[in-house]
C-alpha cells in the first residue's frame, strides 16, 4: 500500500522496541514514544492458525521490521505495525488542536450528506445535525449499512469519516478513492496516524491520539481497556 510505504519512508528508526502489548481491544507499542492501534476482532477459529508469528520474540526485532508489519495480511500483525508507526511519528503539536472527531464531524457535516466508515459512539449526536447519515460497518448494527454499500454511498457524501482501522484491514486506499474530489475527509480513531503524509492522499483532517503517559496506557491495554477507558492520552486533530 503506497500510503503506508510513504509513512514508513517518513519515519526516523533510531529507536528500539521497548514494549508490546496486544490487549482484547487495543494494541500498544513503546519505542521512542508510545503508539496505539485497535486490536482487530476475528470471530473465526484460530487454533490451527498463527495470526502473529513469533509471539514472545517481537521485542528482539528491529523497529523497522516491526513497523513494516503494518503491511501484513494478518490483521493482528498489522495492528502491531500500525501501533509501531504511531509510536515513531514525531507529532507536530503546533499543527494540532485539542479536538476529537465527535466534535469535528458535527461541525463539518451540519446540513450535509455524511458517510462514516465505522460505528462510533458519537453517531447519535451526528445524526441530529446532518442532512443524511450513512454509517457503514463490517459488522452492522441496527440502522447501519453493510461494508459492500460503501461503493454506492461514499461517492455521494459531502463529508466522509474513515476509521483508522482501514489501515489494518488494508481498505484505506480504496475508501479514499471513493470520495468525491470536494468531499471533506477525516481519518479518525486510535489507529489514525497523526502524519501529514495522509494529506497527500486527499485527507483533510486526522483525529488521532497522542500518548502522554506511556506506562499508564500500557497498563490499561494489558488489562483489557477499551479505547474510551484508556487514560494518559490526548485527543488531537491535525488539519490540512
- The predicted model scores a pTM of 0.94
* Nine cell digits for residue 75: 490483521
In a domain, 219, yes or no: yes
DSSP 3-state of 236: strand
Identify whether the C-beta of residue 51 lies closer than 8 Å to the C-beta of residue 75. yes
In the chain the beta strands, taken as DSSP E runs, fall at 19-22, 26-30, 34-38, 96-97, 113-117, 132-137, 145-146, 159-163, 184-188, 205-211, 233-239
Residue 47 has what pLDDT?
46
Mean pLDDT of the chain: 94
Distance CA 3, CA 6 (A): 5
Residue 150 has what pLDDT?
96
Residue 6 has what pLDDT?
98
193 with 101, same domain: the answer is yes
138-152 burial, b for 16+ CB within 10 Å, e for fewer? beeeeebbeeeebee
9 with 79, same domain: the answer is yes
Q: Which residues of the chain have a pLDDT value below 50?
A: 47-48
In a domain, 187, yes or no: yes
**C-alpha closest to that of 161 among 108, 115, 197, 129:** 115
Distance CA 238, CA 220 (A): 25
Identify whether the C-beta of residue 87 lies closer than 8 Å to the C-beta of residue 192. no
**DSSP code of 98?**
S
169 with 100, same domain: the answer is yes
37 with 75, same domain: the answer is yes
In a domain, 239, yes or no: no
Enclosing domain of residue 175: 94-208
Distance CA 140, CA 157 (A): 19
**C-alpha closest to that of 227 among 213, 217, 214:** 217
26 with 48, same domain: the answer is yes
CA dihedral 54, 3, 73, 43 (to 10 degrees): 100
486526522: which residue's cell?
A: 206
Q: What is the pLDDT of residues 114-170, one digit of tens each?
A: 999 999 999 999 999 999 999 999 888 888 999 999 999 999 999 999 999 999 999
Identify whether the C-beta of residue 41 lies closer than 8 Å to the C-beta of residue 22. no
Tally of structural domains, the chain: 2
In a domain, 38, yes or no: yes
Burial of 75 (0-12, 13-18, 19+ CB in 10 A): middle
Amino acid at each position: 500500500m503506497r500510503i503506508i510505504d510513504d509513512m514508513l519512508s517518513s519515519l526516523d528508526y533510531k529507536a528500539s522496541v521497548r514494549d508490546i502489548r496486544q490487549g482484547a481491544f487495543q494494541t500498544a507499542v513503546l519505542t521512542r514514544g508510545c503508539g496505539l492501534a485497535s486490536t482487530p476482532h476475528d470471530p473465526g477459529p484460530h487454533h490451527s492458525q498463527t495470526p502473529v508469528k513469533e509471539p514472545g520474540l517481537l521485542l528482539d526485532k528491529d523497529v523497522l521490521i516491526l513497523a513494516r508489519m503494518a503491511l501484513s495480511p494478518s490483521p493482528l500483525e498489522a495492528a502491531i505495525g500500525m501501533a509501531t508507526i504511531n509510536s515513531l511519528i514525531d507529532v507536530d503539536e503546533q499543527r494540532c488542536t485539542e479536538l476529537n472527531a465527535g466534535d469535528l464531524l458535527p461541525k463539518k457535516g451540519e446540513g450535509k450528506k455524511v458517510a462514516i466508515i465505522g460505528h462510533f459512539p458519537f453517531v447519535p449526536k451526528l445524526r441530529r445535525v446532518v442532512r443524511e447519515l450513512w454509517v457503514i460497518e463490517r459488522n452492522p448494527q441496527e440502522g447501519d449499512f453493510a461494508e459492500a454499500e460503501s461503493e454506492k454511498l461514499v461517492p455521494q457524501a459531502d463529508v466522509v469519516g474513515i476509521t483508522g482501522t482501514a489501515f489494518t484491514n488494508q481498505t484505506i486506499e480504496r475508501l479514499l478513492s471513493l470520495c468525491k474530489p470536494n468531499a471533506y475527509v477525516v481519518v479518525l480513531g486510535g489507529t489514525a496516524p497523526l502524519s501529514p503524509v495522509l494529506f497527500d492522499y486527499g485527507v483533510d483532517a486526522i483525529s488521532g491520539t497522542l500518548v502522554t503517559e506511556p506506562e499508564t496506557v500500557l497498563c490499561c491495554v494489558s488489562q483489557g481497556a477499551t479505547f474510551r477507558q484508556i487514560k494518559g492520552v490526548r485527543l488531537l486533530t491535525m488539519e490540512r
